[in-house]
Amino acid sequence: MNDALDVLGSPADAETLSRLHRNLERHAEQDGLLDVAYTVVDSPVGRLLLAATARGLVRVAYATEGHDGVLETIAQRLSPRILRAPKRLDTTARELDEYFAGRRRTFDLPLDLSLSHGFRQLVQRHLPEIGYGQTRSYREVAELVGNPNAVRAVGTACATNPLPVVVPCHRVLRADGTLGGYVGGAEAKAALLHLEAA
């Protein structure tokens, strides 16, 4: 039997809800309420979470990091005003596409490094100085940032890079030429180096 209550409680269709979501994204951006916008894109190294504040790209996360957990952390550390709002990430997504297609060697994006601090942030600021297709050892990066004894701290800074791929921590290897660790896993690190060597 079709009861009045069933009709009143009938679920909204997905199309209506996604249209309302897009309106919400637009209003939130217009009213300055969208502290963090994010989207998820496909890439040769798996699904990548891209998140940006009004200042710039604040986080790139591999699927292996757990996107839900990454967003929870952003909510605690930056702001819970977070929406899936792909528009703010359009340029980032396009530049990543070009990079993975071998048509882009540097990223031209405003970055927001507010998820890292101190020495780690200093290292991350210097990483883009390692050019496309080149590699450095952890020790060489320690020297690059003017602290040659901080080899382990450089390793930590690379491992906690909030912007992998865009800030090229994958270009930092062990002194013996082996890969070393990587936030996206050894396979992703090898794939990026292989791409850049082509």
Binding interface with another protein (CB under 8 A): 1-5, 7-13, 15-17, 20-21, 23-24, 27-28, 31, 33, 36, 38, 71-72, 74-76, 79-84
Cα–Cα distance list, 82 to 64, 112, 163, 168 (Å): 21, 15, 18, 26
What's the rounded Cα separation, in Å, for the pair 98 and 101?
5
Cβ pair 116, 153 in contact under 8 A: no
Q: Sign (positive/negative) of CA torsion 186, 188, 191, 196?
A: negative
Measured on CA atoms in the order 186, 188, 191, 193, is the torsion positive or negative?
negative
User: Under a CB-based contact definition with an 8 Å cutoff, are residues 22 and 30 in contact?
Assistant: no
User: Known catalytic residues?
Assistant: 169
Of the two residues 71 and 130, which places its CB atom closer to another protein in the complex? 71
Cβ 125 to another protein, closest distance in Å? 27
Closest distance of CB 183 from another protein, Å: 21
Nearer to another protein, 13 or 108 (CB): 13
- Whether 137 contacts 175, CB under 8 Å: yes
Angle between helices 118-126 and 151-159 (to 10 degrees): 80
For another protein, which is the closer residue by CB, 8 or 198?
8
- For the CB of residue 65, give the shortest distance to another protein in the complex, in Å: 15
For tokens 């800030």, the residue is: 167
**At closest approach, how far in Å is the CB of 48 from another protein?**
17
Q: Which of 170, 147, 157 is nearest to 116 (CA)?
A: 157
